[in-house]
Each structure stands twice: as structure tokens, then as C-alpha cells.
């Protein structure tokens, strides 16, 4: 019996444990989300973290080890982002009809998102490294962790800022759309993808494929604009921090 227990304890320190825990937690979160009639406060991104937070200390697995165990899932973020091109392709005729507003909205949205984060952090007296970590908060994690290297920020803080931005965006989108009487799924999707990146895109697909396609487009374009412009502009911004 002790040998069996040792084997089970050893399993907790293998990649299989981390992957299974993550998938089971997410499946549980989807069930909760469905039972709640898709209330934003029960979004799977929020609920799925609860079992993980509870289980890891019980099996003596720290976060760094869990992160290493789930590297394969983190790697799949890239292919998952690329896969968003399929619904976009299906809605290509709709995208072409509003191409000019899309380009203008992307440039303005990317600039305003970064400027608000940088300006607020600077006004509150945050160190330059923290300000640099918050600048790419509205782009998806795989791009943000690369962009933040050019702003002198912390990768872990940038990833956290991206996650919080996505959660807040997904939670607040519904009330804001109702307040502003936004009914066009193109606008809903593009706004969610532009501001709340991958988490917002997942939320947009709940409105339909058209909203999801526009969210995926916004996610990609905002990431592209930010990845090109921010490293180029940051040396000038850093002079004032």
C-alpha cells in the first residue's frame, strides 16, 4: 500500500498530472458556466482556476512546476490563435465591406489601450519596468510576452495584466453593449477582440460566428500593430518615465 501511495504521489510531479488537472478543471468550469445560463461572472477562465488553486497545494506542487507540466497547453495558444483564421475566412465578404473602418479602429484602439495603461501607471508613480509591463496588456499572451522584452518590463507581470484585461473585458462587455444599445455583432466582436484579446474572442463566439470572426480579426490586427509600433515608439516614451 505505501508503494502504491508513493506511485500516486509521484504522478503529481509529472506532465500528465498538470495536463489532466487543467483539462478537468476547464471541463468543470464549462459545466458551471452552462448551469448558470452563461453568466459572465462564471466565465470558465475564472472558474477553471479555482480547482487548480485548491489542488496544487494539496499535492505539494508549486506554480513553477505546474507551469512546466502544462507547457504543451501554453504552446497550443499559438496554433489556437492561428485557427481563428477559419471563421474569419467564412466572413471575408463581410470584412471587405467595412475594411476602412476596421483599419482606423484598430490603429486608434491599439494606441488608446496602450496609452491609457502607460499613462495611468506613470501617473500613479509606477517604476518604468512596471509601466513597460502594462503597455501590451490588450494583446494576446504569446505576442505580449515577446513585445514586453522590448519595453524592459517583466514577462510574468505582462502575462498577468493580459489575463486581467481579458477577464474584465469579457465580464463588462454585456452591460456596456446594453448601455450603449450596441446590437451589431460585428461591432460587438471587434470591440471584444480589440480590448480583451483571446478571452474576449471566446466571449464573442457566444454571440455568433460573425462576432467571433471579427473578434479574431481584431485580436490579430491589434497584436500586429502593437508588435510593430510599440518597440519603435518605446525609446521615446521611456525618456519621460
pLDDT digits (tens, 9 = 90+) for 16-41: 999 999 999 999 999 998 898 878 78
Region at 43 (left for phi over 0; alpha for psi -120 to 50; beta for the rest): beta
Q: How confident is the model at residue 79, as a pLDDT? A: 83
pLDDT digits (tens, 9 = 90+) for 39-59: 878 888 889 989 999 999 988
Q: How confident is the model at residue 7, as a pLDDT? A: 54
* Burial status of residue 128 (CB atoms within 10 A of its CB: 0-12, 13-18, 19 or more): middle
Please compute the mean of the pLDDT values over residues 192-220 and round it to a whole number.
91
Q: How confident is the model at residue 50, as a pLDDT? A: 92
pLDDT at 5 over 70: no
The three three-digit cell numbers of residue 128, written as one number: 518604468
Q: How confident is the model at residue 73, as a pLDDT? A: 87
pLDDT digits (tens, 9 = 90+) for 61-106: 888 889 899 988 888 877 887 787 888 888 888 888 898 999 999 9
Would you list the domain boundaries of the chain? 1-74, 76-241
Q: How confident is the model at residue 1, as a pLDDT? A: 44
Please compute the mean of the pLDDT values over residues 114-130 and round it to a whole number.
93
Cell 455568433, residue?
Answer: 208
- Work out the mean pLDDT of the chain and round it to a whole number: 88
Please compute the mean of the pLDDT values over residues 156-166 and round it to a whole number.
91
* Burial status of residue 148 (CB atoms within 10 A of its CB: 0-12, 13-18, 19 or more): buried
Amino acid at each position: 500500500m505505501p508503494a502504491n501511495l508513493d506511485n500516486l504521489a509521484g504522478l503529481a510531479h509529472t506532465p500528465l498530472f498538470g495536463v489532466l488537472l487543467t483539462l478537468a478543471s476547464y471541463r468543470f468550469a464549462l459545466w458551471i458556466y452552462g448551469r448558470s445560463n452563461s453568466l459572465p461572472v462564471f466565465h470558465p477562465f475564472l472558474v477553471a482556476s479555482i480547482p487548480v488553486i485548491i489542488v496544487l497545494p494539496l499535492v505539494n506542487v508549486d506554480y513553477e512546476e505546474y507551469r512546466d507540466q502544462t507547457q504543451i497547453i501554453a504552446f497550443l495558444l499559438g496554433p489556437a490563435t492561428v485557427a481563428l483564421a477559419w471563421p474569419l475566412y467564412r466572413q471575408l465578404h463581410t470584412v471587405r465591406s467595412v475594411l476602412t473602418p476596421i483599419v482606423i479602429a484598430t490603429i486608434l484602439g491599439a494606441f488608446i489601450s496602450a496609452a491609457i495603461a502607460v499613462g495611468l501607471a506613470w501617473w500613479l508613480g509606477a517604476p518604468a519596468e512596471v509601466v513597460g509591463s502594462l503597455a501590451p496588456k490588450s494583446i494576446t499572451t504569446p505576442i505580449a510576452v515577446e513585445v514586453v522584452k522590448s519595453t524592459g518590463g517583466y514577462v510574468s507581470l505582462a502575462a498577468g495584466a493580459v489575463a486581467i484585461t481579458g477577464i474584465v473585458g469579457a465580464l463588462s462587455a454585456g452591460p456596456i453593449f446594453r448601455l450603449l444599445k450596441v446590437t451589431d455583432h460585428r461591432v460587438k466582436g471587434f470591440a471584444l477582440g480589440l480590448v480583451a484579446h483571446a478571452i474576449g474572442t471566446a466571449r464573442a463566439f457566444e454571440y455568433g460566428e460573425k462576432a467571433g470572426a471579427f473578434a479574431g480579426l481584431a485580436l490579430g490586427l491589434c497584436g500586429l500593430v502593437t508588435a510593430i509600433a510599440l518597440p519603435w515608439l518605446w525609446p521615446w516614451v521611456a525618456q519621460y518615465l
